[in-house]
Amino acid sequence: MKTMTVRDAKPQLGKLVEQVQGGAPVILVPGDKLAKLERSELLDPECDSPQLEALLLEAVRSPHAPYSRQELEAVLNKVGADFREK
């Protein structure tokens, strides 16, 4: 696992993304915090609804979530309605 500052990562971001897509996580150090870049698979709402629900709940409960629970539920309802229309 590679660890680097954000300043050092910026010029080689494309290369880092390729490495992460290949399965090699990268830790970025912006100041005194850590951020982990890791590969993530896209979820299919028809097949992966438990995982999607878990991710949405995690976002709702996160201390860093910029939206209220009601706002996120409204977005989820709209996305669900749009998905059902297709």
* DSSP state for residue 10 in the 8-state scheme: G
Query: Would you state the pLDDT for residue 66?
Result: 66
Q: What is the pLDDT of residues 65-81, one digit of tens each?
A: 567 788 878 888 877 77
Query: Would you state the pLDDT for residue 77?
Result: 82
Q: What is the pLDDT of residues 46-64, one digit of tens each?
A: 676 777 778 778 877 777 6
Query: Would you state the pLDDT for residue 86?
Result: 53
CA distances from 46 to 5, 22, 40, 43, 51 (A): 39, 26, 18, 9, 11
Q: What is the pLDDT of residues 11-44, one digit of tens each?
A: 999 999 999 999 899 999 988 888 888 888 776 7
8 A C-beta contact, residue 71 and residue 80: no
Query: Would you state the pLDDT for residue 54?
Result: 81
